[in-house]
Structure 1
Amino acid sequence: MATLNYFAVGSNRLDEAKAFYDELLASIGWEKMFDHPSGGRLYTARGKGIFGVLAPIDGNPATVGNGFTGGFAFDTGEEVAAFHAKAIELGGTNEGDPGERAPNIHFGYFRDLDGNKLCGYKMG
């Protein structure tokens, strides 16, 4: 079975985006992996995935993916809520309060400073 373990979002405000993600991802134990040649940054959770905030390689402005949502998996609904709250505290926009969407399935949605839609979730 395949596992999704990498995704990146684009930004036109890389300095602000890196500050946002430095603090947000540090709150869940992720750390800087390296700065990307685009001016962006990649983060890792030591074998639990890679997340990037990058300038588009083609040189065009970053745009929000219509219908795109990237997610970070957590062990508890409380962790989902804390991640969501941290994103909002850092200037993100609420796109769906954390809570149970189906029995024992929790999601909390937000948009980052560039409008990219992300979520924290807990399944099972």
Structure 2
Amino acid sequence: MFSHIMVGANDMQASKAFYDAILGAMGYDAGVFDDRGRCFYFTDSGIFAITPPIDGKPASHGNGATIGFAAKDPAQADAWHAAGVANGGVSCEDAPGVRESGLGKLYLAYLRDPSGNKVCALHRMV
């Protein structure tokens, strides 16, 4: 469904360190910068990117927005969360764990990145 997702970043080096850590915990390669100062993470299923805002204003998080990354199991979600906290992220929502919903049991871990964007690692429990 999606070709890419891009979020704004105020400090590209801090944001790259954060995303290199959390995405590295999921087995993805470090991001690469283009000639415009944007950082891209390429996968077989799509692209995630961080960028300084084009309009020159400070990046701000989307209130109500969450970017979700698929975790292969709860251990990977926990490693993702720990890597994020150790690299400038802030834990938010409830502690990582199982949540029951109309969608079934989900293992969720939430963080705010260095620019305030909310990201989540999600594993669907079977």
Structure 1 alignment gaps of length 5 or more: none
Q: TM-score, normalised by structure 1?
A: 0.85
User: Is 2:69 the counterpart of 1:68?
Assistant: no
Please name the residue that 2:52 is paired with: 55
Mapped contact 2:21–2:84 kept (Cα < 8 A) = no
Instruction: Return the alpha-carbon distance in structure 2 between the equivalents of residues 21 and 75 of structure 1.
Output: 18
Q: Which one-letter code corresponds to 1:111 in the other structure? A: R
2:91/2:110 contact within 8 Å kept: yes
Aligned to 2:18: 20
Looking at structure 2, the residues matched to 32 and 79 of structure 1 have their Cα atoms a distance apart, in angstroms, of 17
Q: Secondary structure at the match of 1:86?
A: helix
Indicate if the aligned counterparts of 1:38 and 1:57 stay in contact, CA closer than 8 A.
no
| Counterpart position of 2:7 | 9
Q: Is the 8 A contact 2:70 2:123 kept in 1?
A: yes
Distance in 1 between the 2:2 and 2:107 partners?
A: 19
On the 8 A contact 1:20/1:90 being kept in 2, the answer is: yes
Partner amino acid, structure 1, of 2:123: K
Structure 1 residue 33: Cα displacement: 5.6
* Alpha-carbon distance, 1:5 to partner: 5.1
Identity across the alignment (%): 36
Give 2:45's aligned amino acid: K
What number of residue pairs does the alignment pair up? 121
Counterpart of 1:36 in structure 2 is 34
Q: Distance in 2 between matches of 1:17 and 1:59?
A: 17
For residues 2 and 33 of structure 2, the distance between their equivalents in structure 1, rounded to whole angstroms, comes to 22
Residue of structure 2 in register with 1:97 after alignment: 95
Q: Secondary structure at the match of 1:79?
A: helix
1:5–1:104 distance in 2 versus 1, CA, 3 Å? farther
Q: Could you tell me how far 1:25 is from its partner in structure 2?
A: 1.7
Pick 1 or 2: higher relative contact order, CA cutoff 8 A, min separation 6.
2
Conservation of the 8 A alpha-carbon contact between 1:36 and 1:54: no
* Post-superposition CA distance 1:30-50 (Å, at most 9, x none): 1246413441200023x1321
